[in-house]
Amino acid sequence: MRRGRTHSAADGYGAAARVDGMTSSSTSLTTWQDRADHAARSVTGLFGRNLLFLPGTHLAAVVWQGKHPAQVPPRAGQDAEATAPLPGKWLAALRRARPAASLVLPWHYWWQAHYVDCLVDTGWRELGGGATPAARFNGPDQPSAGHLASRLVTGMRLRNALTFVNSYYDDMAWLALATLRLDKLAEETRRPGRRRNARVRAALTPQFDSACTDDLGGGTFWSKKRDFKNTPATAPVALFYARTGRRDQAQSLLDWLDATLFDPDQGLYLDGARLGPAGDVLVERSLYTYNQGPVLGALLELGGDANLARAAALVDSVQRLLTVPAGEGSAAAGTVLRCEGTGDGGLFTGILCRYLALAAADRRLPEASRAAAAALVVDTAGAFWAGARTVGTDEAKASLAGRSVFSVHAGQPADRTYPPGAPVELATQLQAWMALEAAAVVMSTGPAAVPPAAA
């Protein structure tokens, strides 16, 4: 368990939608790439900034709110004056201080790690476009996605007290995976930064080794309290081991998950386990979309008949049990992946989409499993796109007008979950961006396998 807890229409879901001067009227590959680029521009534009004005750094704000925050009605007995908007001069002062505020606002290390991963997704698409300035998601005069991701890793280290180590092993695993992908992107584009990325992994790998113990029969501790082992830590560590040549350790972690946290009746992975006061193993039986994604990724990475059979069965279980009907008022039709709300849960379904896209492109899986995975990704991404709302000039400066805010839930429109003036959480916007990037991967690969470096 983690801590803490409109576009008017879109292609395939109604009439054409106009985005950044582009009219979309089909679900072609170009359209999905354009949608992913638009999501990248929206998130980086609304949330991204330098850390304390420091050059060569980048970081995302935890929350974005427009120029005119919605006024909260006073509670019973509360003076209406207490809820009135701040005077204009104070609001202006707060906005000027906003970059500095990133040091005192809640620090979400793992949100930033997934921001790195999203930028790497965009960077691989830029590479497919020739890696020229013209291919950059935000225009030829702006940094490439890979360069921005590198700045973000620098910003994370500075914001995290000059270290990449923190108290949660799953957080660190996600950054290790993201920098591994960033390293491969840098290698392909012949960009600097690979030594720094290697230092990240050199610092974090011993952390994972210390968290993988024989307590509870195996698995990975979630945090340095070392009282709980769970799928959110064990699965991404297994995936990291698999991608860095430590396949035996990766398989051992997957086998522990299968023996301890797999629910055979549902075909899904439960949240975690801890040692009870009587020495017995107590299983936390919560089910999250998030947990299934990295398990699926690790199964595909290791391969072999048994792992691939488990991967195919997992896709089927996700389709049966983790989908919901598109809600009333949604421009989407049919079913979409279940979303897990705000806070940390705001990332969960995007992470699952990332690994479903790999399953959709993996020719070792049965055709029915690949088709199911592809449909889950494309339908969910299409629903996020269809339900997005456009940021207007009354909310943001002119340069940001036309960006999009995506809904908390794929099956509900953003003007319901994030009406103008409401604070918008970074996690939920990364989730939609991930889903759109995953759909672009599905549409670009078709029956071919995803290149390992882009996985």
- Inside any domain, residue 147: yes
Of the chain, the end-to-end C-alpha distance in Å amounts to 25
Q: Check if the beta carbon of residue 19 is closer than 8 Å to that of residue 401.
A: no
- Inside any domain, residue 433: yes
- Inside any domain, residue 263: yes
Q: What is the CATH number of the domain that holds 306?
A: 1.50.10.20
Q: Check if the beta carbon of residue 165 is closer than 8 Å to that of residue 203.
A: yes
Cα separation, 112 vs 430, whole angstroms: 10
Cα separation, 425 vs 317, whole angstroms: 29
Cα separation, 342 vs 5, whole angstroms: 7
Instruction: State which residues form the domain around 368.
Output: 17-454
Cα separation, 433 vs 453, whole angstroms: 20
- Inside any domain, residue 8: no
- Inside any domain, residue 316: yes
- Inside any domain, residue 10: no
Q: Check if the beta carbon of residue 91 is closer than 8 Å to that of residue 155.
A: no
CA angle 177, 132, 112 (to 5 degrees): 30
Between the alpha carbon of residue 200 and those of residues 115, 118, 184, 264, the distances in Å are 16, 18, 14, 37
pLDDT 10s digit of each residue in the chain, 455 long? Answer: 554 334 433 333 222 233 343 333 345 667 999 999 999 999 999 999 989 878 889 999 999 998 765 544 444 444 444 344 445 554 445 455 555 555 557 899 999 999 999 999 999 999 988 778 888 888 888 989 999 999 999 999 999 999 999 999 999 999 999 999 999 998 887 776 678 888 999 999 999 999 999 999 999 999 999 999 999 999 999 999 999 999 999 999 999 999 999 999 999 999 999 988 888 889 999 999 999 999 999 999 999 999 999 999 999 999 999 999 986 656 566 799 999 999 999 999 999 999 999 999 999 999 999 999 999 999 999 999 999 999 999 999 889 999 999 999 999 999 999 999 999 999 999 999 999 999 999 998 764 433 333 44
- Inside any domain, residue 432: yes
- Inside any domain, residue 5: no
Cα separation, 29 vs 346, whole angstroms: 27
DSSP assignment of 98-109 equals: HHHHTTTSPP-H
> What is the predicted pLDDT for the residue at 123?
95
Length of the chain equals 455
Domain count, the chain: 1
**Residue that has been written with the tokens 């997957």 in this structure:** 254
Inter-axis angle of helices 305-321 and 247-260, nearest 10: 40
Could you tell me the pTM of the whole model? 0.86
Cα separation, 356 vs 438, whole angstroms: 8
> What is the predicted pLDDT for the residue at 138?
82
Residue 49: strand pairing partners: 59
DSSP assignment of 286-342 equals: ---HHHHHHHHHHHHHH-SHHHHHHHHHHHHHHHHHSEEEPPTT-S--SEEE----S
Q: Check if the beta carbon of residue 439 is closer than 8 Å to that of residue 354.
A: no
> What is the predicted pLDDT for the residue at 197?
86
> What is the predicted pLDDT for the residue at 330?
61
